[in-house]
């Protein structure tokens, strides 16, 4: 087991309540000591605390949203949130993988701190999460849909979750410890159950609903209403569709567009593939099939998000409800010839983030600051007037939502990926540069000048012209890792534990026991 250290248990290069220390000392542009101010006294709770609706999707790229300028689809109901609130153009996750990303949202801590460093790992539900703190502040809490953290949810008065990834059709879900199989399409059912809970809630309390969609997670399966909406459309290919740049990460990419037909030719949506195509033609055919499936699945999700927004308006809840939309990670939509995530490039790390709060957030506003998925927890606690723990490695984005960015707001993003030894990495991104270190078996570096190379095609790690820049970024990276409690020793221990099979064994044993319990009605 890796050490489950807390941020406050680790030595830091500077006081976590003084974000500008490293800037002033010349150690790097590290203006992101996100724990800053967490221990300060909060303003008194307002007379009427806002309700919270957090809508979460799985593998939704911002390029597949019309409010982000999509050229392949329209998302009118997600656009409603953006048009009536704020759109964040530089929101990032800390690890591009489902379960770790979800744990980060709940805890406001990096995976190596909250323990959820991989998918086959049981989430430690005893630790502090923002729903638990909202409960203490008087909120009624619920989660409906994809959980993907394996252990039973804690901190929720009501939960109704998919088992693991779940199914798109006729999903099996567990409702407060009781197993149920629902007939229908998962996206519709998740919206139905979310609305049912809103109808049955204790109306004397403010509420927090987490509506977690499975969509559009690959293999995407659109419902009948949206299955053929793109049949007569030829989707444009991204600029880097035929990119064949040698990459340190490329061999590990699971979902090469060129070979998708080999993996999914037995899927009903991929039967009767045309014969006699050249490799180039097959790749183009694969792309059209894959992206159209994804977009049809997104269209269903967008419709159901519209239903939820309509419910809030029809029941006079919209004015006092914060609505947040985010995805658990970024996603490739054919860029570099890929589909999926996990890599350290921006399409994988950047997520959509929309926030609406009428009367508090200016409609149609756009923010270009660096924000992290970690920031969602302290932000919601901030608006609720609830306690923000000092060991959360994040910062409330409330000042950004109110268009008053602090002068010392973070200018660097730290990210990591520990799941596979050969391609384990960590790195930082600034407005101008990205530095990536593949540790363990590789011990290699990638460096990108994002101003000159925004699509990350040219690894300039060996370019003498950038030697001083890279040296400075390496110093900054070392300092940032120390501040967040990361270390080479901990990274190596995580890999050893991951490869031992212990986590998978614990998960299998736990799920076998729980399935029997859920089947018997809890």
Domain ranges across the chain:
49-221+288-413
What's residue 2's pLDDT?
Answer: 25
The label of the residue with tokens 């040698």 reads: 246
The predicted structure's pLDDT at residue 244: 87
Task: Provide mean pLDDT across the span 360-365.
Answer: 98
Residue 224 in this model has a pLDDT that exceeds 70: yes
Lowest average pLDDT, out of 8-12, 390-394, 518-522, goes to 8-12
Residue 39 has pLDDT above 60, yes or no: no
CATH 3.40.720.10 for the 49-221+288-413 domain, yes or no: yes
pLDDT of residue 21 exceeding 60 = no
d(CA 73, CA 63): 9
DSSP letter at 374? G
Task: Specify the pLDDT at position 247.
Answer: 85
Q: Do the beta carbons of residue 352 and residue 68 sit within 8 Å?
A: yes
Residue 23 has pLDDT above 50, yes or no: no
Q: Which H helix or E strand runs over 300?
A: helix 279-314
pLDDT in tens, 232-248: 999 999 999 999 888 88
Per the CB < 8 A criterion, the answer to whether 43 and 381 are in contact is no
Pair 150, 103: CB distance under 8 Å: no
SS3 of residue 68 by DSSP: helix
Element (H or E) spanning 489, and its range?
helix 488-500
Please tell me the predicted confidence (pLDDT) of residue 47: 59
Alpha-carbon distance of 406 to 388, in angstroms, equals: 18
CA terminus-to-terminus distance, the chain: 29
Six token digits for residue 34: 């996100």
pLDDT of residue 8: 32
Instruction: Report the DSSP beta bridge partners of residue 414.
Output: 428
Banded model confidence at residue 17, pLDDT cuts 50, 70, 90: very low
Residue 209 has pLDDT above 50, yes or no: yes
100 with 79: CB under 8 angstroms? no
Q: Cis bond leading into 216, ω under 30°?
A: yes
Q: What is the pLDDT of residue 10?
A: 36
Closest by CA position to 398, among listed 341, 504, 322: 322
Strand pairing class (350-356; 86-92): antiparallel
pLDDT band (50, 70, 90) for residue 372:
very high
- Residue 20 predicted with pLDDT over 50: no
Residue range 457-473, pLDDT digits in tens: 999 999 999 999 999 99
Ranking 31-45, 46-60, 342-356, 384-398 by mean pLDDT, the lowest is 31-45
Q: Which of 176, 125, 162, 142 is nearest to 522 (CA)?
A: 176
Report which listed range, 136-140, 253-257, 273-277, is most confident. 136-140
Look at residue 252 in the predicted model and tell me its pLDDT: 57
Residue 253's pLDDT is 62
For the residues 40-48, what does the mean pLDDT come to?
49
Using a pLDDT cut of 70, give the percent of the chain over it. 90
* pLDDT beyond 90 at 229: yes
pLDDT of residue 46 exceeding 60: no
Q: How confident is the model at residue 264 (pLDDT cuts 50, 70, 90)?
A: confident
The Cα 218–Cα 215 span in angstroms is 8
In which band, very low, low, confident or very high, does the pLDDT at 14 lie, cut at 50, 70 and 90? Answer: very low
Residue 396 scores a pLDDT above 90: yes
């Amino acid at each position: 087991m890796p050490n489950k250290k807390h941020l406050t248990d680790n030595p830091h290069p500077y006081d976590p309540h003084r974000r500008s220390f490293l800037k002033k000392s010349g150690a790097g542009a590290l203006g992101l000591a996100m724990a800053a101010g967490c221990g300060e006294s909060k303003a008194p709770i307002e007379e009427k605390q806002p309700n919270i609706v957090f809508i979460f999707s799985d593998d939704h790229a911002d390029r597949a949203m019309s409010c982000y300028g999509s050229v392949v689809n329209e998302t009118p109901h997600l656009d409603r949130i953006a048009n009536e609130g704020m759109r964040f153009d530089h929101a990032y996750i800390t690890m591009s993988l489902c379960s770790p990303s979800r744990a980060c949202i709940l805890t406001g801590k990096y995976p190596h701190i909250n323990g959820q460093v991989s998918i086959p790992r049981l989430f430690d539900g005893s630790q502090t999460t923002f729903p638990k703190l909202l409960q203490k502040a008087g909120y009624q809490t619920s989660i409906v849909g994809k959980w993907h953290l394996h252990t039973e949810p804690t901190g929720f008065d009501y939960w109704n979750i998919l088992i693991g990834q779940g199914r798109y059709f006729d999903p099996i879900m567990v409702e407060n410890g009781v197993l149920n199989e629902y007939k229908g399409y998962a996206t519709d059912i998740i919206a139905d159950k979310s609305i049912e809970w809103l109808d049955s809630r204790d109306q004397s309390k403010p509420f927090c609903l987490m509506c977690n969609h499975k969509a559009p997670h690959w293999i995407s399966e659109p419902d009948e209403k949206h299955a053929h909406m793109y049949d007569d459309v030829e989707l444009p290919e991204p600029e880097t569709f035929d990119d064949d740049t040698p990459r340190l990460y490329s061999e590990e990419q699971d979902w090469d567009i060129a070979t998708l037909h080999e993996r999914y030719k037995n899927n009903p949506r991929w039967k009767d593939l045309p014969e006699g195509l050249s490799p180039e033609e097959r790749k183009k055919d694969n792309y059209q099939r894959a992206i159209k499936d994804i977009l049809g699945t997104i269209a269903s999700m967008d419709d159901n998000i519209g239903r939820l927004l309509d419910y809030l308006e029809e029941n006079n809840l919209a004015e006092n409800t914060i609505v947040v939309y985010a995805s658990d990670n970024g996603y490739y939509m054919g860029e570099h010839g890929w589909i999926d995530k996990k890599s350290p490039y921006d399409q994988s790390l950047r997520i959509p983030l929309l926030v609406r709060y009428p009367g508090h957030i200016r409609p149609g506003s756009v923010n270009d600051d660096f924000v992290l998925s970690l920031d969602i927890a302290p932000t919601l606690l901030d608006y609720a007037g609830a306690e923000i723990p000092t060991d959360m490695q994040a910062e409330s984005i409330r000042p950004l939502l109110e268009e008053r960015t602090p002068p010392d707001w973070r200018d660097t993003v730290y990210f990591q990926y520990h799941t596979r030894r050969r391609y384990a990495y960590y790195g930082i991104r600034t407005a101008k540069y990205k530095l990536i270190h593949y540790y363990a078996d590789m011990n290699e570096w990638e460096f990108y000048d994002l101003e000159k190379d925004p699509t990350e095609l040219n690894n300039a790690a060996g370019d003498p012209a950038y030697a001083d820049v890279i040296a400075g970024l390496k110093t900054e990276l070392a300092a940032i890792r120390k501040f967040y409690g990361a270390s080479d020793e901990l990274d190596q221990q995580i890999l050893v534990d991951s490869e031992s099979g212990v986590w998978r064994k614990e998960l299998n044993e736990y799920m076998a026991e729980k399935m029997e319990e859920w089947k018997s009605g809890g």
